[in-house]
Amino acid sequence: MSALLDLKAVSLTYPRQLTPALSDISLSLAPGEKLAIIGESGSGKSTLARAVANLLPRGTRTRGTISWPALDRPAKPGVDYGMVFQDPGSNLNPVLRIGEQIGEAAQHHLGLSRKEADALALDLLTKVQIPQPEAALRAYPHQFSGGQRQRIAIAAAISANPRLLIADEATSALDTLVQAEIVRLIQSLVKSENMALLFITHDIALAAQLADRIAVMHQGQLVEIAAAEDLLSAPASTYAQHLLDTYIDLADAPRISGGQP
């Protein structure tokens, strides 16, 4: 089976900076696979996500290749991948109603009529468990809590049936209980919609609970990538061992079930 996403020797340097933000990153992601990228703040994990999503600033200097072998063409934002950011305000337009924002990608990429897009938006709001979804269609982002806005942002990100969901620190701005709910939601949607997942986080416990494989980044470099269980039980790199030693006892971390939140 062809990889969905393939990075070969990817390096990049932001404008007006001398030190590379990414150095020689090579990894692949299979269709339906869940890959977590972990590392400390500034390790380059969010830069990697933005490189995959082609959201880099103008003037960024890049080397290497990012390809989509299973698609056999460049990926299209929205239809091939959807992205959820740490701040749901980055996904949602404050002056547009929720129904318009969720249905917009489906109208543009799937050719749905406004009526069909509204029906899809209603279905997605139900899937992400927004209370009173019919009323939510006509509401604005400021009328919802942070956790609800993140659910809405996820609904918008998957509205055109993407093959890949990129979640860039999508839970880190939320309190612990809401964070767990969002992780369960992502876990459930990835399974039910048959999507691959690129999950960017500094939280080793969440990575362990959600991912098939974990990639560890440090100072813009990929220092280790392994099956989640293997990395937690016998990390090959000194840096990954350091992260485990200084975080928590993962044996005591509760597993997140695959059921609905």
**Is residue 185's pLDDT more than 70?**
yes
Same structural domain for residues 125 and 231?
Answer: no
What average pLDDT does this structure show over 96-104?
93
Q: Are strands 164-168 and 22-29 parallel, antiparallel or unpaired?
A: unpaired
pLDDT, one tens digit per residue, over 15-25 is: 999 999 999 99
pLDDT score for 148? 94
| Percent of the chain at pLDDT exceeding 90 | 74
Residue 123, H or E segment: helix 114-127
Same structural domain for residues 111 and 236?
Answer: no
pLDDT score for 176? 82
- Per the structure, the count of domains in the chain is 2
pLDDT band per the 50, 70, 90 thresholds, residue 91: confident
Structure tokens at 169: 């620190």
Domain, as residue range, for 224: 1-80+163-178+196-261
CA dist., res. 116 & res. 112, Å (int)? 6
Q: Are strands 22-29 and 5-13 parallel, antiparallel or unpaired?
A: antiparallel
Same structural domain for residues 75 and 17?
Answer: yes
Q: Give the residues across from 168 on adjacent strands.
A: 200
Phi, psi of 250, deg, nearest 5: -65, -20
